[in-house]
Chains A and B, each alone.
Chain A
Amino acid sequence: ELKVEQNPLFLSMQEGKNYTIYCNYSTTSDRLYWYRQDPGKSLESLFVLLSNGAVKQEGRLMASLDTKARLSTLHITAAVHDLSATYFCAVDMYMRFGAGTRLTVKP
């Protein structure tokens, strides 16, 4: 059974700092998704990674995928308060989700 582990589950950052969220998964998959969820809101698609070595960037967020290591990372550069949210990774075409990383960016 496919298992998806995210870490950390909680992350408190100061504005301007960099950090990385990790998403490990247990069986082979060639696709990985990152989503953002604000409190009480729905999920917003951030990235779709479809191949080994894929790297995508949007603003202060950059996601990468290493299918051989079964690892994806979401890197946050120079965090700002607006990035505070819960970030989920999901693996395979039917979306096995990680537990989520609750990010809080403090001034």
Chain B
Amino acid sequence: DSGVTQTPKHLITATGQRVTLRCSPRSGDLSVYWYQQSLDQGLQFLIQYYNGEERAKGNILERFSAQQFPDLHSELNLSSLELGDSALYFCASSAALAGGVADTQYFGPGTRLTVL
């Protein structure tokens, strides 16, 4: 158990809908990262937050957005869902801002999103 929690574990929805995925980082970790894993694209970095502020963006679509709240939990919002958005979405946390020495990332169990 990495100490990172994600809810829900599974999510089934229809095209065009909007969903919110939630992540609670390990206690004390200030950085939260979101990743998408699919058969087509592999593992892709989406976005990083550090202590409530966006720090880096990867291959995140404009239909997707995220935020990190004062209690450090994070939410990933996916809207206007398409079939191709079906994937496993991982959240990870680390103690440091990315680039710091102690930036080992600890991954949550993931949310499996199925868009029908």
Contacts and interface: CB of A to CB of B under 8 A. Distances in A.
- Chain B, interface residues (CB within 8 Å), range: 20 to 34
Interface in A52-107: 88, 90, 93-97, 99-100
A14 B103 CA distance: 35
- Chain A, interface residues (CB within 8 Å), range: 10 to 19
A41 B35 CA distance: 14
Contact of B107 (A44, A93, A99, A100): A44
B98 A93 contact: yes
Interface stretch (B40-48, B64-72, B79-87): B40-48
A94 B107 contact: no
Nearest to B44: A97
A99 B56 contact: no
Contacts of B106: 45
B99 interface: yes
27 contacts: A33-B104, A35-B107, A42-B2, A42-B108, A42-B109, A42-B110, A43-B43, A43-B90, A44-B107, A45-B104, A50-B101, A88-B43, A90-B43, A93-B56, A93-B99, A93-B103, A94-B45, A94-B48, A94-B56, A95-B35, A95-B43, A95-B45, A97-B42, A97-B44, A97-B45, A99-B42, A100-B42
